[in-house]
């Protein structure tokens, strides 16, 4: 797709990326399949987490070894944090462990929907931005929350499509489109709830700058093939957006020229 590739690269916090797919590293059948899926996806950013280390355990060392071979920028998350305080502390631990000041900020407000706690999210974003973190906040399509996050120091917003791992796709397409129109200059990444490649393509066609997903690839029947599918879908959606999509209309408009239609009888024409 070299002659038909995207016009410009993805810019996040001063770094540029060719791929507009950010991929999670969890829930794969095996570490090997995860590594293969990441490679096939073309993703240049992968998300990771921090979890309790068992005494004398080596889980952390094994995983570190695995992700170091992926050749991707690592984006730690604060998954599972239910308060701004927990998220801030987790981000600080992540910065030391992963040697990056990039953080995917999650502050969860509800255990069933994993809905962002937008109040805690803004508070944590403000504090972390002051400490020099480059915050990528997992948020909703709420415009006022988006404004507060940007004012707090975030340069990127990551609204959900649907609940994490739900595979529903764009549950509020209109809301996401409104958000895109309201923040024309900010990099916007749809994060959470994606299930099918068509969902990712739809997000890109609206004009979103990238898509972050995990479960849709990891829990697919063939995660490696699905990673390839999402790569193609995101490229296609971006290309379509840059090519300029037609506006939908209610009534038909013939694509074949009307002039010269055979058997055309003006007296019978409606």
Exposed, middle or buried, 65 (CB in 10 Å: 0-12/13-18/19+)?
Answer: exposed
Among 81, 94, 125, 161, binds another protein (CB under 8 A): 94
Using the contact rule CB under 8 A, the part of the chain among 8-16, 92-100, 121-129, 147-155 near another protein is 92-100
- Binding status of residue 111 toward another protein by CB under 8 A: no
Name the residue nearer to another protein (CB basis): 85 or 173.
85
Q: Provide the β-strand partners of residue 77.
A: 104
Using the contact rule CB under 8 A, the part of the chain among 42-50, 168-176, 224-232, 254-262 near another protein is 42-50
Using the contact rule CB under 8 A, the part of the chain among 63-71, 197-205, 230-238, 258-266 near another protein is 63-71
Among 7, 52, 249, 268, binds another protein (CB under 8 A): 52
- Binding status of residue 63 toward another protein by CB under 8 A: yes
**Pairwise CA distance, residues 50 & 56, whole Å:** 17
Q: Which residues of 247-268 are buried (b: 16+ CB within 10 A; e: fewer)?
A: eeeeeeeeeeeeeeeeeeeeee
The upper half-sphere exposure of residue 11, i.e. CA atoms within 13 Å in the direction of its Cβ, equals: 6
**Pairwise CA distance, residues 60 & 184, whole Å:** 40
- Binding status of residue 121 toward another protein by CB under 8 A: no
Name the residue nearer to another protein (CB basis): 23 or 236.
23
**Pairwise CA distance, residues 9 & 63, whole Å:** 29
Which residues, 6 or more positions from 264, have their beta carbon under 8 angstroms from its beta carbon?
A: none
Tokens of 249: 């209309």
Name the minimum Å distance from CB 114 to another protein.
Answer: 10
Interaction pattern, residues 9-28, with another protein; x per rule: CB under 8 A: ---------------xxxxx
**Region of residue 27 (left: phi > 0; alpha: psi -120 to 50; beta: else):** left
Name the minimum Å distance from CB 224 to another protein.
Answer: 17
**Pairwise CA distance, residues 230 & 236, whole Å:** 10
**Pairwise CA distance, residues 188 & 174, whole Å:** 15
Interaction pattern, residues 206-245, with another protein; x per rule: CB under 8 A: --------xx------------------------------
- Binding status of residue 57 toward another protein by CB under 8 A: yes
Catalytic residue positions, numbered:
104
Lookup result for tokens 């069933």: 112
Name the residue nearer to another protein (CB basis): 213 or 236.
213
Q: What SS3 class is residue 43?
A: coil
Contacts with another protein, residue ranges (CB under 8 A): 24-28, 34, 47-61, 63-64, 67, 76-77, 79, 85-86, 89-90, 92-94, 96-98, 164-165, 214-215
């Amino acid at each position: 797709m070299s002659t038909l590739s995207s016009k410009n690269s993805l810019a996040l916090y001063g770094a540029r990326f060719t791929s507009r797919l950010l991929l999670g590293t969890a829930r794969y059948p095996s570490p090997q399949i995860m590594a293969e899926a990441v490679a096939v996806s073309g993703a240049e950013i992968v998300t990771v987490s921090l979890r309790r280390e068992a005494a004398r355990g080596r889980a952390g060392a094994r995983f570190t070894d695995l992700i170091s071979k992926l050749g991707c920028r690592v984006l730690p998350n604060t998954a599972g944090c239910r308060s701004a305080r927990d998220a801030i502390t987790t981000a600080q631990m992540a910065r030391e462990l992963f040697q990056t000041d990039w953080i995917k900020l999650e502050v969860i407000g509800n255990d069933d929907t994993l809905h962002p706690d937008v109040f805690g999210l803004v508070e944590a974003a403000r504090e972390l931005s002051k400490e020099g973190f480059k915050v990528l906040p997992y948020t909703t399509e709420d415009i006022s929350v988006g404004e507060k996050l940007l004012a707090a120091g975030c340069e990127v917003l990551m609204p959900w499509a649907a609940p994490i791992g739900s595979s529903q796709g764009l549950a509020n397409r209109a809301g996401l489109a409104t958000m895109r129109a309201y923040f024309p200059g900010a990099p916007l990444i749809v994060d959470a709830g994606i299930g099918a490649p068509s969902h990712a393509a739809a997000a890109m066609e609206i004009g979103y700058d990238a898509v972050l997903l995990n479960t849709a690839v990891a829990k697919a029947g063939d995660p490696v093939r699905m990673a390839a599918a999402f790569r193609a879908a995101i490229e296609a959606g971006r290309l379509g957006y840059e090519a300029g999509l037609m506006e939908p209309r209610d009534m038909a408009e013939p694509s074949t020229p009307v002039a010269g239609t055979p058997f055309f009888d003006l007296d019978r024409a409606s």
